Amino acid sequence: MRPPILFPLFAPINTLKGIGLKTQEFLNRLCGNRVVDLLWHLPSGIIDRTYSPKLCMAKENTICTLKVKVIEHIAPKTKKQPYRVICSDGTGDLVLSFFKVYPESIHKNLPVGEVRVVSGKVERFQGLLQMSHPDYIVKPEDMGTILGIEPVYPLTAGITNKLLNKIMKQALGIVPQFSEWLDEPYLKANNWPSFNQALKSAHLPKSLANLEPNDIARTRLAYDELLANQLALAIVRERVKKQQGREIKGNGLLRKKILQILPFNLTQAQEKVLKEISADQASPYRMLRLLQGDVGSGKTIVAFLTMLNAVECGAQAAIMAPTEILAKQHLETIQPLCEEIGLRAELLTGRVKGKTRTKILQDLEDGKIDILIGTHALFVEDVTFKDLACVVIDEQHRFGVHQRLALSNKGNKADILVMTATPIPRSLVLTAYGDMEYSKIDQVPEGRKPVDTRVMPVAKIDVVVDALRRKLDEGCRAYWVCPLVEESEKTDLAAAEERFETLQKIFGDKVGLVHGKMKEKDKDAVMERFKKGELSLLVATTVIEVGVNVPEATVMIIEHAERFGLAQLHQLRGRIKRGFQASTCLLLYSYPLSETAHSRLNIMKETEDGFLIAEKDLELRGGGEILGTRQSGFNEFKLADMTVHKNLLLTANKDARMMLELDPQLTSNRGMALRVLLYLFERDDAVKTYLAG
Ligand code: ADP
Ligand code: MG
């Protein structure tokens, strides 16, 4: 249950005063529909209203806050003229001008003979100092409410900065006084303000420097958010680690046989991660380990050897792929090897039906199948193993912590190895996989030829088609990738279908098409024909991104390359890096080309190192490119900025782990405060599931 102290913050935004239906809608679009969403919406600029000169000294084109006496109202003679109010401070005159206003309201706000404080930009017009539509008109006794630095928020249509400031003030006013959830000595050492103070300061910047993410108030808030993230992961991690596992220590005979059969030696990196994995398997606790390796680094064989370790101990193992195509591909690698050493590997996907399925399920339960290969979906269903001791999950996209935990409940204390081909910068590994141990294959097998990557405008498509024709004549196979078709974008996107048709006109029946909306069965059929060489040019949406292995394919053309994120481009290019032949990647772009998109394409030209690309991606995304963030699914922070706060993350990670060692149930004073923090940043799943009380 959410602590009651947080109720006001999680209440709908219209619990604040003066928010009508329209405003509520606009605010919802701007930041969300709860008070807390509003509080995380920090200013991006300031207006300085501290400049308060005498009129004779006032700098033109500057925001001034002026105390003046109202002398005279001059109504407009024509519709084009403004309504004018002449004021003076004894040293000079100021004309306040208004278009399209009701004279009554001006009279009310600016009665002749009275003194008022006005704030706004002063300009010179027809020789006179003028302020057009002052931002503020207040009585002298209220001068304090405007004389200062005004925060400027990112806005949306329908919300003015003035209105937002007013609402924000209310919102800040209802933030309850929280007990400190940070470690006091750490807080003192950093000289950080309390959460409440930090939130207030962040919303009331005094200078431009206060807007920087490394400003002290913002830093404290970022740390709070990172700590919530790390604490939630640490809770999950602790709990999984404490689970009794089994000691898997195979005799190594099967693995030895396989290593003899393989036409290559393992790379040093493969050896290293296998050692790390084997140590986990041998320990009495459960393994929960992430295996990272760039495309083509040889993760499959590592997974297979990991599973063999369990099989050597008489248990079963399973590997789950994100798609049917990939599951089949794993089968093609693993099954022949298994046959050589007298093991049985089977494929179980949604398409295996009827008697075959019944038999596989039965044999699995009887322990006659050693290794099961399937898709994620199947493992959610009721598949019973005789003795499942090892699960390998080949990830396509990120799995949530909870999905991982649901999986870990399968099998007999089974060890879990999660593989990902998306190179993730170290800092993000912590935020997303902080609950897991971590291994990295940081080397690809020797002898691979670099990909010749070129960037060119789509206007040169004729040249591209000519070059492609030569390649196809030489017997090469090629991919042509188009961005996904989104309904709203149909008009300006070179949809895969259209491209398919034009290319078919040129290359005839050598051309095939696969896209995400196709039936799995049809997709496979096309892929199969491409694999066999019946098709030599495959037009595709990003469905081919995921680990499809056609070693003969050596050419890739990516249309609208500027629309893809770096990670995605890297994955795509990985498809033609499989063999030892030279290969070519053409990145076609269209205008307008943003600066970030331009940098992305250049990075692709310069390097093939997935981890380097991932780091660059993070840097570029720091610039606020939403596309990349959304695509890689790491945009989970509201206040922390991973390009700036990386170091805080490491501290938060240590802090969280230490805290759980001292107070595993979070029942101490700090522990209770931390529970509130978890709820505040909505990382409460872990609390609900694993903490008592
Ligand atoms: P990924 O990490 O992308 O899943 P794979 O496991 O599919 O990579 O391996 C890519 C290719 O490299 C496969 O054809 C595989 O047989 C081969 N391979 C794996 N390890 C080595 C190695 N140590 N030396 C040479 N080739 C290897
Ligand atoms: Mg693979």
**Would the CB of 300 count as within 6 Å of ligand 1?**
yes
* Neighbouring residues of 688: CB distance < 8 A, sequence distance ≥ 6: none
Please tell me the chain's helix, strand, coil percentages from 3-state DSSP, rounded to the nearest 5: 45, 20, 35
Model pLDDT, residue 629: 35
Window from 333-337, 520-524, 671-675 with minimum mean pLDDT: 520-524
Query: What is the per-residue pLDDT across 624-647, written as a single tens digit (0 to 9) for each?
Result: 333 333 334 455 688 998 778 888
Nearest ligand to the CA atom of 396: 2
* Distance, CA of 335 to CA of 320 (rounded, Å): 15
In the block, residue with structure tokens 């001034």: 64
Query: Phi and psi (nearest 5°) for 238?
Result: -55, -45
- DSSP letter string over 199-252? HHHHHS-SSGGGGSTTSHHHHHHHHHHHHHHHHHHHHHHHHHHHSB-------S
> What's the average model confidence in pLDDT over 390-408?
69
Average of pLDDT values for 7-21?
Answer: 92
Structure confidence by residue, pLDDT tens digits, 415-429: 989 898 777 777 777
Q: Which atom of ligand 1 is nearest to the CA of 265?
A: 23
pLDDT (average), residues 298-314: 96
Atom of ligand 1 nearest to the CA of 267: 23
- Rounded Cα distance between 242 and 413, Å, is 11
The whole-angstrom separation of Cα 478 and Cα 7 is: 57
Q: What confidence score (pLDDT) does residue 579 get?
A: 62
* Amino acid 221: pLDDT: 97
**Residues 470/462, Cβ–Cβ less than 8 Å:** no
pLDDT reported for residue 318: 94
Q: Which amino acid is at 383?
A: V
| Res. 97 pLDDT band, cuts 50 70 90 | very high
Q: Which of 273-287, 599-613, 634-648 has the lowest mean pLDDT?
A: 634-648
Q: Are strands 316-321 and 388-395 parallel, antiparallel or unpaired?
A: parallel
Residue whose Cα lies nearest atom 20 of ligand 1: it is: 298
DSSP notation for 252-317: SHHHHHHHHHSSSPPPHHHHHHHHHHHHHHHSSBPPEEEEEE-TTS-HHHHHHHHHHHHHHTT-EE
What pLDDT is recorded for position 626?
A: 32
Cα separation of the two ends of the chain? 10
pLDDT at 623: 37
CA distances (Å), 271 to each of 197, 247, 276, 519, in order?
51, 20, 9, 40
Structure tokens at 124: 């010179």
Q: What is the predicted pLDDT for the residue at 190?
A: 95
CA of 548 to the centre of ligand 2 (A): 8
Torsion of CA 383, 394, 495, 473, to 10 degrees: -110
Identify the CA nearest to 553 among candidates 564, 542, 544, 563.
544
Counting from 1 in the atom list of ligand 1, the atom nearest the Cα of 333 is 16
Tell me the CB-side half-sphere exposure of residue 629, using CA atoms within 13 A. Answer: 15
The model carries a pTM of 0.71
- Tell me the pLDDT tens digit for each residue of 136-165: 999 999 888 887 899 999 988 888 898 999
Amino acid sitting at position 566: L
**From the CA of 128, how far away is ligand 2's center (Å)?**
74
Mean pLDDT of the chain: 87
Nearest to 37 by CA among 60, 58, 55, 16: 16
Q: Is the pLDDT of residue 466 over 70?
A: yes
Structure tokens at 368: 């006659």
pLDDT in tens, 52-64: 999 999 999 999 9
H or E stretch covering 573 = helix 566-574
Question: Per-residue pLDDT for 403 more than 90?
Answer: no
| pLDDT at 632 (0 to 100) | 40
What is the 3-state secondary structure of 343-404?
CCEEEECCCCCHHHHHHHHHHHHCCCCCEEEEEHHHHHCCCCCCCEEEEEEEECCCCCHHHH
Which atom of ligand 1 has the smallest separation from the CA of 301? 6
Whether residue 453 has its Cβ less than 6 Å from ligand 1: no
Structure tokens at 597: 């998109």
